[in-house]
């Protein structure tokens, strides 16, 4: 594993613009990862998502499952000592992907298997589709 | 003073029990809430993008209509609606140009000036006071051990929190005032998996299992919640939990208003618990 | 009038932005300027020499130096011009670095114009300057030290050893402060009490030190050289001169309350000494918890038990007035209340404790006799989690700063824990280990390497109870994993905050505090122990978080500052004080009301033949701080601060604003 570092901040800039957050305000204490309810399901820890943004490791970041597992529960945001909203940054990364690839992460068909409350359907469509 | 009430989509379908019981509770306690005559989707799930104002139109439209009818407070029962409306309200109030743009876009509505306060029904009960609630109790739920589940959206992010985000007590206080006994429940602020229920039900089942087991190990007879989505995940996903964890015994889940209605002598649904 | 203008490059700091040559050219054309030049570093030895030579050679009468902030080098340049006989108040400094080149580095042209205007304004001001002489006031050769912890004790001893009288005032019943509560100290593992108590005793027995415990400073008036201090001694209800410290009273006292000295983990009686080595060893009756009240005596057990009849239920608070020439503030620190750390269950779970509480549990003289037992059930914890930065480096909890002592004391506590519970496990959560001190890093390496204590790089997000365990959810960012630890006990290292009452004391002494309430020094690097209020010095953690060795060093530094003040015959004050023009003053009293230092009195003229005696304002020069409030409020321009007169300031502003 070796990452060649070079300035590659197009993704970073877009994510910061969408989220209104400063990625470099994060000092990588890991408190977000320590409390994330979804961390057991994730391939990258939440703090690593920010780390890859800081490093400009865009490919590794855009490939991860983590951003699609974030449930926008705001636990990380509520406890971040630096007041960084990782919840917003996650949304920023998701939106960059959705907007650029135009690929939905879920189709209404997949959600037809059982009877679901509307609030679940609408929220999922909002978060996972373009 | 009459307060406007925004039900939201799910309260008219899977979460009917929340609305019916809450309206009965409000009536008993003399809290004057009235459903908005016309309303749309609250705009859930709250958009976290700064650059996508269109996502704020639905909640702001609702707030504009509320203001236009002369109301200054809008209440909700669904935690998700509460969070969306409250966050959208703060978001547009923070930067005047956001509100201007949305007002210009909703040309068929009267302009919204940011003058509606969004309050969850729990806050209304808190303001009424535990004593008033106690006075209405006909059948105290003595001995009933209740795990009060808040989930995420009533408490986070902090700027819309209805209570302390780490050690809340608003639900516990209400349960105490109707004679029930809230149990220690540290998972009460842990996320249930939310909308992932629509795409990754197994993850949600695992989350719900952890939460329910924590309630069980602390001696709870039932779990109460205010969120139709949490309720679905904690209640309906129990069959998936049983498939994943055959030893899981199950635990009844209710809306807090259902339990209140029971104590007020309106319904009888807790038999055998 | 012959004005010389000297413009400093400050290397590239100024010259890299503003066009220094252009400044020289334009400045030399200003009225009364006979000479203008530039130099690479005016503050350097040759730079100062250049100024001195030109003053002599060209017979300059006034000097303007355009350089860095006067906060930086005003005294340097004043000394230089004084060296060749020029009154230093005929020198004006134009700040073209902090106020210009640093803030406008991206706009060199505008910066040059601004720098010129600043110089022009300084020239306009200095043209109206008058020579001034320092004010001399008599000096009281006694010192007040507030706070009886290690900072106050060290300061008091150093000053007393220098031959001057010291009043050492402590709020609690005993000297010692937080250091007395600690078990061992890092990195040497010296027993804290063993190295502290001899100093406490030395202070108490020193012929030059008056130890006044269980007392608080109520009021302070006056200025450097002459402070009048009111100290309130709280009633001990025990006559110190009679008390032998035998403890018979304590034995019979029926009331048991938590002992503050043990952070509430141990108990004391209502009549008590906080710890056995207390100095003075005099008992204190805490009336708040005693069965008796001020009016009603229902229990006389202690009174009856006391052989020397030292107990007096009718004792009243006592006020003492003292006069001192200098004050040292050494009021120390508190810890951020852990109730603020709700995600860690602070205040909710008894086995989530602070570092200071853990010190008491480790201490051989602590409530558990040095056996580490957890507060909830007295069991010996077999798995302990230490959480550093609990509120520190955490702007969301109001403490963005590093508390400095936690990395080291946590390492020490983990080591001591392993020594007393050899089969126990200790885990330390940290963000960065900051061990920059003599033998500090080596100590931490020993804790990691030899004691094999697991350090996890990451913060904890949540602590909650499961049965009789505390579940800790943390992160180890090195392995990239979220972790869960089922611990028996959790030790937090809460942020260090100024001790209670610091803000009030600062107000009383007109000492400024920073945004977190720590006392501000005049210059963070070059004058770290002097407060902005002349004659008031700082020692210890009241100024910023610091450990014992650093505190002792600062305390000695404060003492040396005091000694150099007291070794003079008189105190010297800046002559920048207000003067009243009796002819213009109409005696309205506006300035008298406005003066925040109560330096102005309204007086009447001596009798004049056949004329009415006029009322006018009079300034007490030794009290005046030269703030200028009087000058701003006076409708007749009758009161002026020397060096900053109305005419000078208006000439300065005009010069700034007018285009050439």
Q: How many cross-chain Cβ pairs, B to C, lie less than 8 Å apart?
A: 13
d(CA A113, CA C538): 72
Please determine, for residue C217, whether its predicted confidence score (pLDDT) is greater than 80.
Answer: yes
Does residue B270 lie in a domain region?
Answer: no
Contact call for residues C363 and C519 (beta carbons, < 8 A): no
According to the model, what pLDDT value does residue A1 have?
81
* Facing residue for C473 by CB, picked from A29, A35, A82: A35
Record: contact B13-A117, CB cut-off 8 A: yes
Does residue B127 lie in a domain region?
Answer: no
Q: A48 touching C, CB under 8 A?
A: yes
Going from N- to C-terminal start, the domains of chain A cover 10-103
Q: Residue C578 — pLDDT band, cuts 50, 70, 90?
A: very high
d(CA B69, CA C27): 70
Based on the fold, state whether residues B108 and B10 are members of the same structural domain: yes
Of chain C, the end-to-end C-alpha distance in Å amounts to 22
d(CA A87, CA A49): 11
Record: contact B191-A71, CB cut-off 8 A: yes
Record: contact A119-B8, CB cut-off 8 A: yes
Q: B184 touching C, CB under 8 A?
A: yes
Cα angle value B6/B10/B13 (rounded, 5°):
115
Based on the fold, state whether residues B189 and B256 are members of the same structural domain: yes
Chain C environment of A69 (Cβ under 8 Å):
none
Chain C environment of A33 (Cβ under 8 Å):
458, 461, 475, 477, 482
Binding partners of B (≥3 Cβ pairs within 8 A): A, C
Does residue B96 lie in a domain region?
Answer: yes
Model confidence over B104-126: pLDDT tens digits? 999 888 999 999 999 999 999 99
Based on the fold, state whether residues B63 and B177 are members of the same structural domain: no
Record: contact B232-A116, CB cut-off 8 A: yes
Q: C610 touching A, CB under 8 A?
A: no
Q: C466 touching B, CB under 8 A?
A: yes
Binding partners of A (≥3 Cβ pairs within 8 A): B, C
Q: Residue B42 — pLDDT band, cuts 50, 70, 90?
A: very high
DSSP letter at C281 equals -
According to the model, what pLDDT value does residue A96 have?
96
Does residue B222 lie in a domain region?
Answer: yes
Does residue B102 lie in a domain region?
Answer: yes
Record: contact A118-B50, CB cut-off 8 A: no
Instruction: Give me the mean pLDDT over the B143-171 stretch.
Output: 97
Based on the fold, state whether residues B109 and B170 are members of the same structural domain: no
Q: C508 touching A, CB under 8 A?
A: no
Q: Which residue has the tokens 């027995």?
A: C205
Q: Which residue has the tokens 């530039």?
A: C38
3-class secondary structure per residue, chain B: CCEEEECCHHHHCCCHHHHHHHHHHHHHHCCCEEECCCCCCCCCCCCCCCCCHHHHHHHHHHHHHHHHCCCCEEEECCHHHHHHHHHHHHHHHHCHHHHHHHHHHCCCCCCCCCCCEEEEHHHHHHHHCHHHHHHCCCCCCCCCEEEECCCCCCCCCHHHCCCCCCCCCHHHHHHHHCCCEECCCHHHHCCCCHHHHHCCHHHHHHHHHHHHHHHHHCCCCEEEECCHHHHHHHHHCHHHHHHHCCCCCCCCEEEHHHHHHHHCCCCCCCCCC
Q: C340 touching A, CB under 8 A?
A: no
Based on the fold, state whether residues B259 and B144 are members of the same structural domain: yes
Based on the fold, state whether residues B140 and B195 are members of the same structural domain: yes
According to the model, what pLDDT value does residue B194 have?
96
Q: Residue C573 — pLDDT band, cuts 50, 70, 90?
A: confident
Record: contact B50-A87, CB cut-off 8 A: no
According to the model, what pLDDT value does residue C85 have?
95
Q: What is the number of other CB atoms lying within 10 angstroms of the CB of residue C436?
A: 10
Q: Which domain holds residue B213?
A: 136-263
Q: A34 touching C, CB under 8 A?
A: yes
Question: Nearest C-alpha of chain B: how many angstroms from A6?
Answer: 28
Instruction: Give me the mean pLDDT over the C228-243 stretch.
Output: 97
Q: C2 touching A, CB under 8 A?
A: no
Q: Last residue of a domain, which of B90, B122, B154?
A: B122
Based on the fold, state whether residues B70 and B168 are members of the same structural domain: no
Q: In chain C, pLDDT over 90 holds for what percent of residues?
A: 92
Question: Nearest C-alpha of chain B: how many angstroms from C356?
Answer: 24
Based on the fold, state whether residues B148 and B73 are members of the same structural domain: no
Model confidence over C483-511: pLDDT tens digits? 999 999 999 999 999 999 999 999 999 89
Model confidence over B7-34: pLDDT tens digits? 999 999 999 999 999 999 999 999 999 9
Record: contact A123-B198, CB cut-off 8 A: yes
According to the model, what pLDDT value does residue C597 have?
81
Best A1, A26, A34, A50 member to test C by mutation, with max C CBs in 10 Å, is: A34
d(CA A80, CA A102): 32
Record: contact C348-B167, CB cut-off 8 A: yes
Does residue B131 lie in a domain region?
Answer: no
Chain A environment of C396 (Cβ under 8 Å):
80-83
Q: C650 touching B, CB under 8 A?
A: no
* CATH assignment of the domain containing B205: 3.40.50.11810
Record: contact A45-C474, CB cut-off 8 A: no
Q: What is the number of other CB atoms lying within 10 angstroms of the CB of residue C228?
A: 13
Model confidence over C598-610: pLDDT tens digits? 889 999 887 767 7
Q: In chain C, pLDDT over 70 holds for what percent of residues?
A: 100
Instruction: Give me the mean pLDDT over the C309-331 stretch.
Output: 96
Q: Residue B272 — pLDDT band, cuts 50, 70, 90?
A: confident
Residues 6+ apart with CB under 8 A from B154: B79, B82, B83, B120, B122, B161, B162, B163, B168, B226, B227
Q: What is the number of other CB atoms lying within 10 angstroms of the CB of residue B111?
A: 14
Please determine, for residue C352, whether its predicted confidence score (pLDDT) is greater than 80.
Answer: yes
Model confidence over B175-203: pLDDT tens digits? 999 999 999 999 999 999 999 999 999 99
Residue C326, classed as helix, strand or coil, is: strand
Record: contact C342-B166, CB cut-off 8 A: yes
According to the model, what pLDDT value does residue C613 have?
82
Interface pTM (ipTM) of the complex? Answer: 0.96
According to the model, what pLDDT value does residue B271 have?
82
Chain B: residue whose CA lies nearest to A118 = B10
Model confidence over C56-68: pLDDT tens digits? 999 999 999 999 9
Based on the fold, state whether residues B155 and B259 are members of the same structural domain: yes
Instruction: Give me the mean pLDDT over the C349-378 stretch.
Output: 96
* CATH assignment of the domain containing B50: 1.20.1050.140
Q: How far is CA C378 from CA B215, C368, C421, C500, C615, in A?
A: 27, 9, 14, 31, 75
Please determine, for residue C196, whether its predicted confidence score (pLDDT) is greater than 90.
Answer: yes
Instruction: Give me the mean pLDDT over the C321-347 stretch.
Output: 97
Based on the fold, state whether residues B33 and B70 are members of the same structural domain: yes
Based on the fold, state whether residues B85 and B186 are members of the same structural domain: no
Model confidence over B224-247: pLDDT tens digits? 999 999 999 999 999 999 999 999
Q: Last residue of a domain, which of B122, B152, B178?
A: B122
Q: What is the number of other CB atoms lying within 10 angstroms of the CB of residue A1?
A: 3
Q: Last residue of a domain, which of B71, B93, B122?
A: B122
d(CA A53, CA A39): 18
d(CA C486, CA C21): 71
Does C608 or C548 have the greater pLDDT score? C548
Does C523 or B129 have the greater pLDDT score? B129
Burial of B170 (0-12, 13-18, 19+ CB in 10 A): buried
Looking from the CA of B208 toward its CB, the CA atoms found within 13 Å total 34
Contact call for residues B207 and A37 (beta carbons, < 8 A): yes
DSSP letter at C570 equals E
Q: Residue A8 — pLDDT band, cuts 50, 70, 90?
A: confident
Taking every pair of Cα atoms in chain B, the longest distance, rounded to a whole number of angstroms, is: 57
Chain C environment of B169 (Cβ under 8 Å):
none
Burial of B108 (0-12, 13-18, 19+ CB in 10 A): exposed
What CATH superfamily classification does A10-103 receive? Alpha-helical ferredoxin (1.10.1060.10)
Q: B158 touching C, CB under 8 A?
A: no
According to the model, what pLDDT value does residue C223 have?
85
Best A120, A121, A124 member to test B by mutation, with max B CBs in 10 Å, is: A120
Contact call for residues C470 and C345 (beta carbons, < 8 A): yes
Record: contact C458-A33, CB cut-off 8 A: yes
Record: contact A45-C481, CB cut-off 8 A: yes
Q: Going from the N-terminus, what domains does chain C have, and what CATH number goes with each? A: 3-126 (3.40.50), 144-186+207-224+321-328+502-568 (3.50.50.60), 248-305 (no CATH), 334-497 (3.50.50.60), 578-641 (3.30.70.3270)
Binding partners of C (≥3 Cβ pairs within 8 A): A, B
* Facing residue for A33 by CB, picked from C389, C395, C475: C475
Instruction: Give me the mean pLDDT over the C633-651 stretch.
Output: 96
Based on the fold, state whether residues B103 and B148 are members of the same structural domain: no
Q: Residue C625 — pLDDT band, cuts 50, 70, 90?
A: confident
Number of structural domains found in chain B: 2
Record: contact B203-A122, CB cut-off 8 A: no
Please determine, for residue C660, whether its predicted confidence score (pLDDT) is greater than 80.
Answer: no
According to the model, what pLDDT value does residue C71 have?
85
Model confidence over C438-455: pLDDT tens digits? 999 999 999 999 999 999
d(CA C530, CA B206): 61
Please determine, for residue C622, whether its predicted confidence score (pLDDT) is greater than 90.
Answer: no
Record: contact B167-C342, CB cut-off 8 A: yes
């Amino acid at each position: 594993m070796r990452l060649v570092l070079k300035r590659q901040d197009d993704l970073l800039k877009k994510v910061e613009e969408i989220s209104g957050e400063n990625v470099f305000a994060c000092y990588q204490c890991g408190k977000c990862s320590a409390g994330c309810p979804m961390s057991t399901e994730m391939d990258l820890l939440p703090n690593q998502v920010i780390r890859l943004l800081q490093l400009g490791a865009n490919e590794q970041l855009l490939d991860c499952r983590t951003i699609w597992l974030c449930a926008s529960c705001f636990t990380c945001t509520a406890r971040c000592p630096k007041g960084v909203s990782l919840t917003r940054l996650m949304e920023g990364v998701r939106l960059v992907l959705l907007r650029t690839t135009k690929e939905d992460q879920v189709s209404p068909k997949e959600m037809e298997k059982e009877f679901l409350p509307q609030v679940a359907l609408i929220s999922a469509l909002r978060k996972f589709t373009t | 003073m009459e307060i406007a009430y925004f039900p939201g989509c799910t309260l008219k379908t899977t979460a009917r029990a929340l609305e019916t019981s809450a309206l009965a509770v409000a009536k008993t306690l003399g809290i004057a809430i009235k459903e908005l005559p016309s309303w749309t989707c609250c705009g859930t799930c709250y958009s976290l993008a700064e650059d996508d104002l269109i996502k704020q139109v639905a909640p702001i439209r609702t707030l504009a209509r509320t203001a236009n009818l002369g109301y200054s407070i809008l209440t909700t029962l669904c935690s998700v609606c509460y969070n969306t409306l409250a966050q959208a309200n703060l978001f547009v109030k923070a930067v005047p140009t956001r509100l201007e743009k949305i007002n210009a876009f909703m040309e068929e509505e009267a302009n919204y000036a940011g003058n509606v306060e969004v309050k969850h029904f729990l806050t209304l009960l808190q303001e009424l006071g535990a004593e008033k609630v106690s006075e209405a109790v006909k059948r105290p739920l003595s001995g009933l051990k209740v795990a009060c589940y808040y989930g995420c959206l009533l408490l986070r992010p902090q700027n819309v929190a209805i209570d302390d985000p780490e050690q809340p007590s608003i639900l516990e206080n209400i349960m105490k005032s109707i004679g029930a006994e809230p149990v220690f429940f540290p998972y009460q602020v842990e996320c249930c998996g939310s909308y992932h229920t629509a795409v990754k039900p197994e993850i949600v089942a695992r989350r719900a299992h952890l939460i329910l087991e924590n309630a069980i190990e602390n001696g709870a007879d039932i779990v109460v919640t205010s969120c139709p989505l949490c309720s679905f995940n904690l209640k309906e996903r129990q069959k998936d939990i049983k498939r994943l964890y055959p030893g899981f015994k199950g635990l009844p889940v209710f809306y807090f208003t259902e339990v209140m209605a029971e104590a007020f002598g309106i319904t009888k649904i807790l038999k055998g618990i | 009038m012959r004005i010389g203008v000297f413009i400093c490059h400050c290397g590239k700091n100024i010259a890299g932005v503003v066009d220094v040559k252009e400044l020289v050219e334009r400045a030399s054309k200003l009225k009364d300027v006979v000479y203008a030049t530039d130099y690479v570093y005016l503050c350097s030895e040759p730079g100062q020499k250049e100024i001195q030579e030109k003053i002599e050679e060209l017979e300059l009468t006034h000097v303007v130096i355009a350089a860095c902030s006067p906060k930086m080098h005003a005294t340097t340049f004043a000394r230089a011009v004084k060296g060749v006989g020029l009154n230093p108040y005929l020198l004006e400094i134009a700040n073209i670095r902090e106020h210009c080149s640093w803030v406008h580095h991206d706009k060199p042209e505008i910066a040059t114009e601004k720098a010129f205007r600043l110089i022009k304004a300084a020239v306009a001001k200095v043209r109206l300057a008058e020579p001034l002489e320092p004010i001399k006031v008599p000096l009281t050769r006694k010192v007040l030290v507030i706070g009886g912890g290690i900072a106050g004790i060290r300061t008091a001893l150093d000053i007393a050893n220098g031959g001057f009288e010291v009043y050492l005032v402590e709020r609690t019943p005993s000297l010692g402060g937080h250091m007395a509560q600690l078990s061992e100290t890092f990195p040497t593992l010296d027993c804290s009490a063993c190295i502290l108590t001899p100093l406490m005793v030395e202070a108490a027995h020193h012929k030059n030190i008056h130890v006044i415990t269980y007392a608080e400073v109520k009021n302070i008036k006056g200025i450097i050289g002459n402070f009048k201090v009111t100290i309130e001694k709280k009633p001990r209800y025990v006559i110190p001169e009679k008390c032998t410290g035998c403890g018979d009273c304590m034995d019979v006292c029926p009331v048991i309350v938590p002992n503050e000295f043990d952070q509430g983990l141990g108990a004391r009686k209502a009549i008590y000494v906080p710890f056995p080595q207390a100095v003075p060893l005099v008992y204190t009756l805490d009336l708040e918890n005693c069965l008796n009240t001020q009016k009603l005596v229902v229990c006389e057990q202690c009174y009856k038990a006391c052989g020397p009849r030292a107990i007096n239920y009718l004792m009243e608070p006592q006020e003492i007035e003292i006069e001192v020439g200098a004050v040292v503030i050494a009021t120390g620190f508190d810890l951020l209340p852990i109730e603020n750390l709700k995600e860690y269950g602070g205040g909710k779970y008894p086995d989530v404790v602070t570092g200071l509480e853990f010190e008491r549990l480790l201490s051989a003289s602590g409530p558990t006799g040095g056996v580490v037992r957890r507060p909830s059930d007295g069991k010996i914890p077999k798995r302990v989690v230490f959480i550093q930065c609990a509120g520190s480096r955490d702007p969301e909890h109001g403490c963005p700063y590093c508390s400095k002592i936690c990395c080291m004391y946590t390492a020490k506590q983990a080591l001591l824990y392993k020594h007393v519970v050899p089969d126990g496990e200790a885990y330390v959560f940290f963000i960065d280990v900051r061990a920059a001190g003599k033998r500090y890093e080596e100590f931490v390496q020993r804790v990691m390497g030899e004691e094999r204590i697991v350090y996890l790089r990451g913060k904890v997000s949540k602590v909650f109870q499961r049965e009789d365990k505390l579940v800790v959810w943390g992160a180890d960012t090195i392995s990239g994993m979220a972790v869960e630890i089922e611990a028996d006990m959790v030790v937090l290292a809460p942020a260090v905050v100024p001790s209670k009452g610091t803000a009030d004391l600062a107000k009383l002494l007109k000492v400024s505090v920073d945004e977190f309430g720590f006392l501000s020094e005049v210059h963070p690097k070059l004058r770290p122990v002097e407060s902005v209020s002349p004659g008031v010095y700082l020692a210890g953690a009241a100024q910023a978080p610091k450990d014992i060795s650093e505190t002792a060093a600062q305390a000695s530094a404060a003492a040396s500052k005091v000694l150099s003040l007291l070794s003079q015959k008189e105190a010297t004050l800046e002559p920048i004080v207000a003067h009243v023009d009796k002819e213009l003053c109409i005696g309205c009293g506006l300035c008298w009301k406005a003066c925040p230092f109560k330096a102005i009195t309204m007086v009447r003229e001596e009798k004049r033949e056949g004329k009415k005696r006029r009322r006018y304002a009079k300034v007490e020069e030794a009290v005046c701080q030269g703030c200028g409030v009087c000058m701003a409020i006076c409708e007749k321009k009758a009161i002026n601060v020397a060096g900053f007169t109305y005419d000078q300031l208006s000439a300065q502003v005009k010069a700034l604003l007018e285009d050439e």
